């Protein structure tokens, strides 16, 4: 039996017609603001922020879709999936002779309303409801960066491509994972011919590769997957220069306050929490050092502050002043 928009509204605890009203608000160009986030690689990134009420509705909608649709992200998908993340993604590629990384250009924005509608139908929604939900979760006909529904829907739309790439990797004795728009292959042997075949499969499914971010990383040289070093077969590690940078940031804060941090309070805490996720001892050490400055206030002294819904490894490296790890 297909899932209807009315069923989702009841599950969300909203009155009938709520989703249609939200769709009409977004169709009119209202209900959100546009943030311009500075970036070193481009002048800025556009992030769409819904109003408080609409953001709450979208979060509930995402949770309902996760429960109600007949869709589970494949094992190769580690971004925006419960109990998976940057650590599980990196573990797949430990101690490999070669790691190949590719990046999908403008991942969210390249996904159209029609693709969202088709994917929702394939997941179990009836056609009218799939179109309505597509209108609720897209802006100007595309998935926006900043909506809490976008990562889930992107995984849903990319699922057929994941299947093809996973099969290709298996046929060539390779490992494959995807973290949002970051695709990683690893194994004993990957050459340009295999890379070209992979790129052809991706492009055949309508995606565009950001060629300047394609990286071959071979054993004996630094290998990074979602911001973590994977050279050591025993486990992923926080790179040394990241440790040094964060310790220096904490020193600046201790001397001159958070205004002296190049990251700012929230992002510094967020990066420390990401470190704690990978290396609890190091993360606790950094947090204790920051707490010792006497400048942390609020719930649990900032231990949960700054955590993001998904980890943007490109932005992570940019903010840490590292530009050559891609």
Point out the least confidently predicted range of 87-91, 127-131, 149-153, 320-324: 320-324
Q: Give the 3-state secondary structure of residue 215.
A: strand
Q: What are phi and psi of 29, to 5 degrees?
A: 85, 10
Query: What mean pLDDT comes out for the span 153-157?
Result: 98
Residues 6+ apart with CB under 8 A from 294: none
Instruction: Report the half-sphere exposure of 43 (CA within 13 A, side-chain side).
Output: 1
Nearest to 151 by CA among 68, 28, 66, 277: 66
- pLDDT at position 61 over 60: yes
Predicted confidence at residue 81, as pLDDT, reads 93
The length of the chain in residues reads 326
Given this model, what pLDDT does residue 310 score? Answer: 46
On the CB side of 57, CA atoms within 13 Å amount to 25
Inter-residue contact 253 to 261 (CB < 8 Å): yes
Residues in contact with 103: Cβ distance below 8 Å, sequence separation at least 6, in sequence order: 181, 182, 183, 209, 210, 213, 214, 314, 326
* Strands 98-103, 182-187: pairing kind: antiparallel
* pLDDT value for 307: 42
Burial 77-94 (b: 16+ CB within 10 A, else e): bbbbbeebbbbbbbebbb
Q: Residue 46: what pLDDT?
A: 85
Per-residue model confidence (pLDDT) at position 36? 82
Reply yes or no on whether the pLDDT at 123 is more than 80. yes
Q: How many CB atoms lie within 10 A of CB 19?
A: 22
pLDDT at position 70, please?
87
Please give the distance of CA 277 from its chain centroid, rounded to a whole number. Answer: 16
Token digits of residue 217: 């990383």
Which residue in this structure is represented by tokens 């309902």?
Answer: 64
**Count of beta carbons in the 10 Å neighbourhood of residue 273:** 19
Q: What is the pLDDT of residue 37?
A: 75
State residue 322's pLDDT score: 41
> Per the confidence metrics, is the pTM higher than 0.75?
yes
| pLDDT given for residue 41 in this prediction | 59
Per-residue pLDDT reduced to its tens digit, 64-84: 999 999 899 999 999 999 999
Q: Residue 140 above 90 pLDDT?
A: yes
Question: Is pLDDT larger for residue 106 or for residue 324?
Answer: 106
At residue 42, the pLDDT reads: 58
The mean pLDDT value of the chain amounts to 90
| pLDDT digits 0-9 by tens, 188-227 | 999 999 999 999 999 999 999 999 999 999 999 999 999 8
pLDDT reported for residue 197: 98
Average pLDDT over residues 154-181: 98
Give me the pLDDT at residue 326, please: 32
DSSP sequence for 120-164: HHHHTB-HHHHHHHHHHH-BTTBPPTT-TTHHHHHHHHHHHHHHH
The answer on pLDDT for 13 being more than 80 is yes
Average of per-residue pLDDT across 20-49: 86
List the beta bridge partners of residue 225: 228
Q: Quick one: pLDDT band at residue 135, thresholds 50, 70, 90?
A: very high
Average pLDDT over residues 45-54: 93
Rounded to a whole number of angstroms, the distance between the first and last alpha carbons of the chain is 45
What's the pLDDT score for residue 312? 52
Q: Which residue has the higher pLDDT, 311 or 110?
A: 110
Do residues 208 and 105 lie in contact, with contact meaning Cβ atoms separated by under 8 Å? yes
């Amino acid at each position: 039996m297909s899932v209807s928009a009315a069923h989702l509204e009841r599950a969300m605890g909203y009155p009938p017609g709520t989703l249609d009203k939200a769709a009409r608000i977004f169709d009119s160009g209202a209900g959100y603001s546009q943030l311009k986030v500075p970036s070193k690689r481009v002048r800025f990134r556009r992030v769409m922020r819904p109003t408080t009420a609409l953001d709450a509705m979208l979060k509930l909608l995402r949770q309902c879709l996760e429960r109600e649709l007949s869709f589970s992200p494949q094992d190769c998908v580690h971004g925006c999936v419960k109990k998976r993340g940057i650590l599980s993604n990196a573990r797949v590629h430990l101690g490999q002779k070669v790691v190949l990384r590719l990046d999908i250009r403008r991942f969210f924005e390249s996904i159209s309303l029609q693709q969202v509608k088709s994917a929702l139908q394939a997941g179990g929604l009836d056609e009218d409801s799939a179109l309505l939900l597509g209108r609720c979760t897209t802006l100007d006909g595309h998935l926006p960066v900043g909506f809490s529904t976008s990562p889930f829907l992107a995984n849903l739309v990319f699922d057929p491509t994941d299947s093809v790439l996973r099969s290709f990797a298996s046929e060539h004795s390779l490992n494959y994972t995807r973290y949002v728009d970051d695709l990683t292959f690893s194994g004993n042997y990957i050459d340009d011919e295999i890379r070209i075949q992979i790129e052809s499969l991706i492009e055949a499914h309508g995606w565009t590769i950001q060629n300047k971010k394609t990286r071959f990383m071979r054993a004996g040289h630094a290998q990074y997957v979602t911001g973590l070093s994977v050279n050591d077969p025993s486990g992923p590690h926080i790179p040394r220069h990241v440790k040094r940078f964060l310790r220096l940031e904490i020193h600046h804060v201790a001397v001159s306050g958070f205004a002296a941090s190049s990251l700012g309070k929230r992002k510094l805490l967020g990066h420390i929490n990401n470190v704690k996720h990978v290396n609890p001892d190091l993360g606790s050490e950094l947090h204790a050092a920051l707490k010792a400055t006497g400048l942390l206030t609020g719930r649990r002294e900032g231990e949960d502050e700054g955590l993001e819904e998904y980890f943007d490894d490109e932005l992570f490296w940019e903010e840490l002043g590292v530009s050559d790890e891609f």
